[in-house]
Structure 1
């Protein structure tokens, strides 16, 4: 709340714009609808987590999932290594860099890795921006679920069957988002005592290292040779457009 509604609104608008741009770009390059949706969600929200959440909702097949996921780990690492170079190049403040990292880096642990060297302010702002960006996955998944259910119902009606499309509430919102909201609410209402914060923070640091190790194990540069050029172009161009949009945005938050 202290960060202001302007920042929260800017994050939401950025995600919506990039969803549309990434999807449109992927379709222009001739990619299938489901693959275009996965690339758009992965690029605009939170990489593998968004792809994993959206894939079962739109009934994407294994090839589409593998193609869209293949680049997120590799490009995520490149972003972590290269993004700090923009601090002196663009003369970014700690707040500006935190916003930039939160808007462009795929995974939460990667945002931490990219911002910790820049200081605590960048880390806090980057984490906040990233988690708000991740929260956008909730309404996106719900919207896609309702759209798919409507199409199933329309298809059943055309075929003259009475089979209704059901939506499981447990698939609408990823569990980690629910956990984040619950813990954030508990802490905001001071139901988590201050004495518990130190050990929880230490545990979180350990789990962050484990998360980064897991992301590292997921990086396999050999996948680049198995993915088509159109997928490569769609993912890379989408990320570059997101980076350009985010750089333009941070200049409003000096």
Structure 2
């Protein structure tokens, strides 16, 4: 009875903030639908719109104490569940199809891009955690990587929101500008598909960016992108090992924990890897893949709404120019490294 009473009280504490985050998610979905109806496509996806809608709401209204537990629950626990479900979109067969040389090349590209982006961020005087968020976002999978790495390194909500906002907006520009770069460099379809998979953030954006070069470029881009997404697990493990050496957190963040197996390998990363394994052995029914993907996306949007509700727009404005410069320069570095890999592999 005591356990049931405690559980009921916990649910009551979480309910107001959780419902608020779901409501903001609904607003973001409606805004995305309006975009599609007006322009034929969504220039800003619901994930970005959710964090912007949450931040705008926070500008005009500061949530009281009764809202905070649910917002914190959505910003962390819901996000971790979404990362686990993301594992169902990746399988060993997809990775093997790319070939070992390509897989190793993608992994080295991600590592080199994270290292160079981190250096750029520090030179621009970003905090170590913000520099890592920008580096991982640019180098792996944009918003999802930022969201996954944030709880591992105890990043504060202002940094997370700033990194996601600028990275997401720049992602739209990359989708529009990358085909022009491909034509200017006279890249073949496999070369361009690989470039799109290595540089564009979200999977849907990869498909959109690769589409002007035809279906082969789209397939290559999707395959490279999936291998790149798989780097999220190992990167999070390394980030967890580095977190204690990053110094104190500047803003509100999750409490530090002692280094142990649960810290080095967070439960949601183990879940992600486990689901990749189940998908690889064809244990996950094919009919469940689409619903799992939709659930992962929806939960991520809810968590982004929570992050938006927790951001201080004044801090976002202060971080703006430096973060924007860091994101642009690190993205340019990623593009250069990616082109070096493409030409080095002699893709035709």
Aligning the two structures, in what range does the TM-score lie when normalised by the shorter sequence? 0.7 to 0.9
Which among 203, 211, 235 is matched to residue 108 of structure 1?
203
Q: 1:164 to 1:87 in 2, by over 3 A?
A: closer
| Structure 2 length-normalised TM | 0.57
Verify the 8 A CA contact 1:111 1:126 in the aligned structure 2. Answer: yes
Return closer, same or farther for 1:74/1:175 CA change in 2, 3 Å cut-off: farther
Q: Which runs of 5+ in 2 are unaligned?
A: 1-95, 247-256, 306-312
1:143 deviation in Å? Answer: 1.7
Q: Does 1:26 align with 2:118?
A: no
Among 84, 91, 96, the residue aligned to 2:186: 91
Instruction: State how many pairs are aligned.
Output: 226
Correspondence for 2:331: 239
For residues 193-224 of structure 1, the C-alpha deviation after alignment (integer angstroms, 9 at most, x for no partner) is xxx6xx789x58x96xx88xx7xx99xxx999
TM-score, structure 1 length as denominator?
A: 0.76
Q: Specify which of 159, 162, 184 is matched with residue 64 of structure 1.
A: 159
Q: What are the superposed Cα offsets for residues 162-208 of structure 1, whole Å, 9 maximum, x if unpaired?
A: x9544265545185665445324318xxx86xxx6xx789x58x96x
- Separation in 1, partners of 2:143, 2:277: 20
Q: Are 1:173 and 2:269 counterparts?
A: yes
Give matches, 1:1-254, under 5 Å. 1-148=96-243, 164-166=258-260, 167=262, 169-171=265-267, 173=269, 178-186=274-282, 227-251=319-343, 252-254=346-348
Distance 1:231 1:109 in 2: 24
Helix, strand or coil at the partner of 2:195: helix
The 1:4–1:115 alpha-carbon spacing in structure 2 relative to 1, beyond 3 Å, is: same
Helix, strand or coil: the match of 1:71? Answer: helix
Q: How far apart in 2 are the matches of 1:59 and 1:94?
A: 41
Distance 1:178 1:116 in 2: 32
C-alpha distance in 1, partners of 2:122/2:172? 26
Q: How far, CA to CA, are the matches of 2:258 and 2:269 in structure 1? A: 21
CA distance in 2, matches of 1:60, 1:123: 34
Call closer, same or farther: CA 1:84–1:184 in 2, change over 3 Å. farther
Pair 1:18–1:140, CA change in 2 (3 A): same
Query: Residues 57 and 253 from structure 1, CA distance in 2 versus in 1: closer, same or farther, beyond 3 angstroms?
Result: same
Distance 1:56 1:228 in 2: 22
Q: Closer, same or farther in 2 for the Cα pair 1:32/1:111, shift >3 Å?
A: same
Q: Distance in 2 between matches of 1:229 and 1:164?
A: 35
- Please tell me whether the aligned partners of residues 27 and 33 of structure 1 are also in contact (alpha carbons under 8 angstroms): yes
SS of alignment partner, residue 111 of structure 1: helix
1:102·1:111 contact (CA, 8 Å) conserved in 2? yes
CA drift at 1:119:
2.0
For 2:270 and 2:202, locate their aligned partners in 1 and report how far apart those are by CA, in whole Å.
15
Q: CA deviation at 1:248?
A: 2.7
- Structure 1 stretches of at least 4 aligned residues deviating more than 6 Å after TM superposition: none
- Cα distance in 1 between the residues matched to 2:280 and 2:242: 30
Secondary structure in 2 aligned to 1:173? helix
- 2:166–2:323 CA contact under 8 A, matched in 1: no
5+ residue gaps, structure 1: 153-162
In 1, distance between residues paired with 2:144 and 2:324?
A: 19
Which is bigger in relative contact order (C-alpha 8 A, separation at least 6)? Answer: 2
- Across the aligned residues of Structure 1 and Structure 2, the Cα RMSD in angstroms comes to 3.3
